[in-house]
Structure 1
Amino acid sequence: MRTIISVRSVPKYTLERHLSSHQDGILCLAVLNNGNFLASGGFDGLRMWDLQNSLELHKPCQTRNTRDPITCAVWLTLKDERSDILCCGTGLGYLLFWKQNVTSARPEFEETLVRRIGTGQEVMAISWCQRSYQLVTATYDKRVQVWVVGAKYTLTNTFSVELLTTIPRAVYFHGADVLVFGMYDGEIHTLRGKDGMILATKTIGRMM
């Protein structure tokens, strides 16, 4: 059966605005669910944007290496937390949490967590599960880890597994389990959420 899609039904996208600040390549973007804030990360660090007013926000003082590229980012919403939190991964294997300062007259963020994970290699991907308050991270050393984010931004490790040959390029929660997409081997692994055991593997036969 052939499916015919009318050209009229395809949405037409136009450029709404142009935000300029980065002086080098951009590696990741993350938009807050309500559309208020955009985070853009790249080889020259992180930028924060107020999308409602097209303004770049003040960046907090960074305690890590300022030349460490931002490789991935995701927004978190924690239980009993009034402010929005941005979680970033870096090229040197750090996780960063930036929290919005709700007492400030204008939107500002402050760094609340800096933690190196795995063996200190590049954080390739991160994903957030709002239902279980869990964060999954994937690093270039083939390691996938799931964390419970608790009060005062504590990270409690649920599991940490090292894949045999797969360098993870993307990770996502799928119900109680975790999907891992390989970068070079074209493999998609399903990991059991409670201990990281590989439940299934599919091969698509090409690099992702």
Structure 2
Amino acid sequence: MLSLRSNSKQSYRLHGKLHGHSGAIVRLQATGDGNFLASGGTDGTKAWDLHSMREIPGPTWLETHGATTAIVWVKREDNMTLALVYGTQNSQLVCWQGFKRGGKLVFEEVSITAPLIKSAEITGLAFDASSNRLAVCHRGGGIQLWTVEDSMTLKFVWSQEFKNYVPRAVAFSQLEGDERSVLVFPLYGGYM
């Protein structure tokens, strides 16, 4: 992986390289402030500090979860703890929570959610901080909504199955009154 920084002349130069994955990288997700990056692939998930260009220590027993296929950073408005939720090809949702240990950030696995509606690869994740809701879509044609509890565990809210298309990505709409819609983007057909 490469990190490029813009200089005052609006051209880019190599800032650094991240080394650590041994297999294909399937997903990358940076935090909104650009301080951290999560990468996921066939050999699991890794978190990176983009200032030091070093891997952040995290769980090492990832082989049982399967390849990482979706990633989202989570930061609740009422709890400033940084967390990372990722989905796998084995239909698991895994949550890592950030902790300070010896003044440095480390991640620990705090929850694993069993397979979703149907056991299928998770294809997309989205988080809405104002409602602490996590939207999940998967290759089996389903979408689910979860609440991210203060302990960073997930509480099921609702699910919907689609028979005619495969959801590829999911997002939350802008606030309309006091509600948000969940937007679902399918892999085939051009529907939304």
Could you tell me the TM-score, scaled by structure 2's length? 0.85
State the Cα deviation string for residues 125-184 of structure 1 (Å, max 9, x = none). 000111111110001110011111123223233320001211011111013101111102
Structure 2 residue 50 is matched with structure 1 residue 46: no
Once residues 77 and 102 of structure 2 are traced to their aligned partners in structure 1, the CA distance between those partners, rounded to angstroms, is 21
Q: Equivalent residue for 2:58? A: 59
What letter corresponds to residue 148 of structure 2 in structure 1? V
Q: Residues 185 and 191 of structure 2 are in contact (CA less than 8 Å); yes or no, is this contact kept in structure 1? A: yes
Any idea what SS the aligned residue of 1:153 has? coil
Structure 2 residue 66 is matched with structure 1 residue 107: no
Once residues 82 and 180 of structure 1 are traced to their aligned partners in structure 2, the CA distance between those partners, rounded to angstroms, is 28
State the Cα deviation string for residues 87-115 of structure 1 (Å, max 9, x = none). 10111000011011124432210000111
Any idea what SS the aligned residue of 1:65 has? helix
Aligned residues: 177
Aligned residue runs from structure 1 range 77-156, under 5 A: 77-116=75-114, 117-156=116-155
Alignment gaps of 5+ in structure 2: 1-9, 175-179
Structure 2 residue 29 is matched with structure 1 residue 30: yes
Alignment gaps of 5+ in structure 1: 1-10, 189-208
Q: For residue 37 of structure 1, report the CA deviation from its aligned partner.
A: 1.5
Once residues 98 and 118 of structure 1 are traced to their aligned partners in structure 2, the CA distance between those partners, rounded to angstroms, is 22
What letter corresponds to residue 180 of structure 1 in structure 2? V
Q: Residues 170 and 182 of structure 2 are in contact (CA less than 8 Å); yes or no, is this contact kept in structure 1? A: yes
Higher strand share: 2
Kindly indicate whether structure 1 or structure 2 has the higher relative contact order, using CA contacts under 8 Å at least 6 residues apart.
Answer: 2
RMSD across aligned C-alpha pairs, in angstroms?
Answer: 1.8
Q: Equivalent residue for 2:181? A: 177
Any idea what SS the aligned residue of 2:69 has? strand
Could you tell which deviates more after superposition, 160-169 or 50-59? 50-59
Once residues 87 and 16 of structure 2 are traced to their aligned partners in structure 1, the CA distance between those partners, rounded to angstroms, is 27
Q: Residues 77 and 129 of structure 2 are in contact (CA less than 8 Å); yes or no, is this contact kept in structure 1? A: no
Could you tell me the TM-score, scaled by structure 1's length? 0.79
Q: Residues 40 and 67 of structure 2 are in contact (CA less than 8 Å); yes or no, is this contact kept in structure 1? A: yes
Q: Identical aligned pairs, as a percentage?
A: 31
Once residues 161 and 108 of structure 1 are traced to their aligned partners in structure 2, the CA distance between those partners, rounded to angstroms, is 35
Any idea what SS the aligned residue of 1:187 has? coil
Q: Equivalent residue for 1:71? A: 69
